[in-house]
Amino acid sequence: MAAENTNTSAELTKVVYKDGLQEIPFDAGIVGDDFPMTADAKLGQKLRFDVVLSLEHGITYNGTAGSVVTLGDPVVANIKKAEVEAYETIMRTRISDRLMDDAVKSGKEAFDSATRVVLMNLQESAELRKEHSLLYGQLGCAQVLTVTSNTTSLTIGITPASWCPALFESLEGAVLEGWSTQAATATQRDGDLTLATDGAALAVDLDNKSITITAAANAFTNVAVGDWLYFKGARTSTGFNEMAGIMKLSTTTTGTLQGLSVSIYSRFRPNVAATFGVVTFLKTLNAVRKLVARRIRKGTWKMLQPSHAYEKLNSDLMAARRFDGSWKRAKGEAGNETVEFYGQTGTTAFTVHPLLRDGDMEMYGQANGFRTGSRELSFDSNPNDKNDIWTRRQDQNAYEARVRWVMSPALLRPAHVLACSGVTEATS
């Protein structure tokens, strides 16, 4: 008679995933990579750092004679403390007792088969939410353009400017909330808005830029045109439970930004190019002039773009190309994986960000931002066994795994970023 397999989930997790899931490392994403979590920024809930808000002006002009003169009074720089708070986010998943027990008893291969797809999906889901928060935290998911009620469903059309197909493609079954505004004080519309999961309606219509909410008869009546959709729990009626993303930081041109007034300190105020229109190289260069006025040293920059804007820039570039010795009769090659342009501020790499809304673009320089906080996105350990990530639920017949992150992005020089809004898609 064969001996019973006595492995535990902790032992098998260690064997299958090589000491702490190193075989499935988390991908930081574009903004996550460009805004690194530095060791000296992991200082807990709030980070304070110095920012220079004016130059030195205590200068004496002494002509050509080299005379002994009384020096002019010093006019010292205005240096103040900026503040950024880190926000905590937790995501969880579960596997039934029966499935876990059978997998553990059957050994390594069965355990791998039963758990890997769940953990991979949890990882992908968490990475998407984290990157979206780093980009659009506190600004919601999209704005309502139209509302059509069909008794047991609610179809919500999204404005073209706030539409992001790569985001909504991932949200079937997600729970959203409707709010009257993006401001800190807002009114919630109705209750949970759950994207269709019953198969009776298309949850996300990518062609028509709409989503469908399912509910009991006539459950939703208050969601209105102009409202903003947020992930459930991301905000309250008087504030936010989610970090402020770089789009929120770089479009704050009134009030307070990172604890300092942008209405008073012009050298701390971001740059916004509104009503941008269809993207062209000339319009892009005109927008970048706002950064030139900020005494930008030439360096390396990145402009995040939606795919339609990148396609238009790439088309402009190819239209201006002259054929040279690289021309081939047998095969035509065109297009570029990355478009880099050397201009007023140095080298700018135009990069498609899949989570960027169709109406936005964002430009920032190298080393102008970081993330503060106490925890990168990672799995939580079982409090009873640090080698395990599965915890037995006491109130349900299930095991649970969690990922968690505690962070916020910060801008060292908000005046050295450029946000473009009102970007529109070319009609032909």
Q: Quick one: pLDDT at residue 31? A: 94
Q: Quick one: pLDDT at residue 272? A: 95
Model confidence at 416, in pLDDT bands (50, 70, 90)?
very high
> Bridge partners of 228?
143, 179
**Burial class (CB within 10 angstroms; exposed 0-12, middle 13-18, buried 19+) of 117:** exposed
3-state secondary structure of 127: helix
Q: Quick one: pLDDT at residue 383? A: 78
Q: Quick one: pLDDT at residue 204? A: 92
Model confidence at 188, in pLDDT bands (50, 70, 90)?
very high
The secondary structure element, H or E, covering residue 258 is none
Q: Quick one: pLDDT at residue 138? A: 98
Q: Quick one: pLDDT at residue 258? A: 94
Model confidence at 345, in pLDDT bands (50, 70, 90)?
confident
Token code pair at residue 394: 């006491």
Residue 331 clears pLDDT 80, i.e. is over it: no
Token code pair at residue 39: 């060791």
Comparing 188-197, 230-239, 247-256, 353-362, the range with the smallest average pLDDT is 188-197
Token code pair at residue 422: 């009102």
Strand 277-278, strand 423-424: pairing: parallel
Q: Quick one: pLDDT at residue 281? A: 84
Using a CB cutoff of 8 Å and minimum separation of 24, what contacts does 62-68 make? none
Spatial distance between the Cα atoms of 415 and 401, rounded to a whole number of angstroms: 41
Spatial distance between the Cα atoms of 152 and 221, rounded to a whole number of angstroms: 11
- How confident is the model over 371-408, as pLDDT tens digits? 998 888 888 887 777 777 888 888 888 888 899 999 99
Comparing 105-109, 192-196, 246-250, 360-364, the range with the smallest average pLDDT is 105-109
pTM recorded for the entire structure: 0.88
Q: What percent of the chain has pLDDT over 90?
A: 46
Q: Quick one: pLDDT at residue 399? A: 86
Residue 5 clears pLDDT 50, i.e. is over it: no
Q: Quick one: pLDDT at residue 111? A: 80
